[in-house]
Amino acid sequence: MSQSATRAADPHTIYQRMQEAVMRKEDATLLPAELLAEDVVVETPFSPPGMRRIEGRDAWLEFYRNRALPVHFDRFRELSTHRTDDPEVIVVEYELTGTITNTDQPASATFIGILRVRDGLIKHWREYQDILAISEALKLAPEDVSGPDAHSTSEQSTSAPTSP
């Protein structure tokens, strides 16, 4: 895909490209590098300390490489999409279903995301996750989902997406 095609994309188009990235057989990713602004902010306010806020594309990519979940996603089910008065922002509800690769057990979890896209790139992604479902699927205590080290994140208070 050309950079100019990405830059012209609206939030819903970028969200659809995120869905495609999650479902790739090879190199699946939740937020692909080609869709992220250099100064992207990714927040998961219900996550354990150490993964609630990640600032910058490079920090996100490092975090994702180091914390990739042992899951092969089988289905991305869009539950609803809500457009907002702000043309850069949509609110999405979805369910991911897959197989835990180290146990071969099926699992699913629901999510709500707020996506801000500017110039065809994700500037801000705030996601509210079903931490209990994720923890149960991975056979972890909820506080263990983030892992032992959080050096690539910054723990700041969360706030509504803002225009930089």
Please state, in angstroms and as integers, the Cα–Cα distance from residue 128 to each residue in 101, 115, 149, following that order.
Answer: 24, 12, 21
Name, of 33-47, 62-76, 94-108, the range with top average pLDDT: 33-47
Q: For the segment 120-137, what is each residue's pLDDT rounded down to a tens digit?
A: 999 999 999 887 888 788
Amino acid at 50: G
The pLDDT of residue 64 is 81
Measured CA to CA, the distance from residue 97 to residue 91 in angstroms comes to: 20
Q: What percent of the chain has pLDDT over 70?
A: 79
- For range 103-120, the mean pLDDT: 93
Q: Give the strand order in the sheet containing 89-100.
A: 53-55, 36-43, 121-129, 105-118, 89-100, 71-83
Claim: this prediction has a pTM higher than 0.95: no
* Summary mean pLDDT of the chain: 80
Q: What SS3 class is residue 22? A: helix
The pLDDT of residue 92 is 97
On the 0-12 / 13-18 / 19+ scale of CB atoms within 10 A, 155 is exposed
The pLDDT of residue 32 is 87
Residue 72, C-beta contacts closer than 8 angstroms, at least 6 positions apart:
28, 98, 99, 101
- For range 140-158, the mean pLDDT: 44
Residue 163 has pLDDT above 60, yes or no: no
List, in sequence order, the alpha helices (H) in 9-71: 11-23, 57-67
CATH 3.10.450.50 given to domain 3-139: yes
Q: What SS3 class is residue 85? A: coil
Q: For the segment 68-101, what is each residue's pLDDT rounded down to a tens digit?
A: 678 888 999 999 999 999 999 999 999 999 888 8
Q: What percent of the chain has pLDDT over 90?
A: 44
Q: What SS3 class is residue 159? A: coil
Domain boundaries, the chain: 3-139
Closest CA to 110 of 137, 77, 141, 143: 77
- For range 94-115, the mean pLDDT: 90
Residue 4 has pLDDT above 60, yes or no: no
